[in-house]
């Protein structure tokens, strides 16, 4: 096996700006058994690149998982994306075939776990209401009909207005 120090590492699609592309290829070259995986990794990387070029940008979270016996398996982050992607399958399949990929069918799998970053919600104490909004809540608490059903809502609205007035 050749040393990776005298060769430029293979580029793995999707890792261009990270040093992980170089670390991954060096790791795969570290033994003969792992080096056998490198052609498969490169093939899937090229397939992933072609899929991204064909599909609209909204499908950028889709990933090529495998291509075996003419069946392309793509993973997506949610069932909503999967439903929309299924509408793009004929176009994807035809364009991949034009590029030389032998894709007879496309299978879409939903990824377990999230690869989409979760947006952090602001802490309740960090939410600021403008004074006009606080006044509007206070007025709402005073104008709602005083019924048994409304009692918890009125109490909550009044607490909110008082708390926000104290915060200034």
- Distance in angstroms (rounded) separating the CA atoms of residues 110 and 79: 6
List the structure tokens of 42.
Answer: 């490169």
Confidence band of 105 (pLDDT split at 50, 70, 90): very high
Tokens 């999230």, residue?
114
pLDDT tens, residue by residue, 36-65:
877 887 888 889 899 999 999 888 888 898
pLDDT in tens, 116-139: 556 666 666 666 788 888 888 889
Provide CB contacts within 8 A for 34, sequence distance 6+: 27, 28
């Amino acid at each position: 096996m050749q040393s990776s120090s005298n060769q430029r590492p293979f580029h793995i699609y999707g890792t261009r700006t990270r040093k992980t592309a170089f670390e991954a290829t060096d790791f795969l070259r570290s033994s003969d058994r792992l080096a056998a995986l490198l052609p498969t990794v490169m093939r899937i990387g090229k397939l992933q690149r072609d899929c991204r070029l064909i599909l609209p940008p909204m499908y950028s979270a889709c990933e090529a998982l495998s291509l075996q016996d003419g069946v392309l398996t793509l993973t997506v982050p949610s069932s909503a994306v999967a439903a929309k992607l299924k509408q793009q399958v004929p176009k994807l399949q035809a364009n991949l075939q034009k590029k030389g990929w032998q894709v007879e069918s496309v299978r879409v799998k939903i990824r377990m776990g999230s690869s989409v970053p979760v947006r952090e919600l602001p802490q309740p104490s960090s939410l600021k209401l403008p004074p006009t909004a606080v006044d509007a809540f206070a007025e709402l608490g005073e104008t709602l009909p005083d019924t048994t059903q409304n009692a918890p809502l009125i109490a909550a609205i009044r607490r909110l207005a008082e708390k926000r007035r104290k915060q200034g």
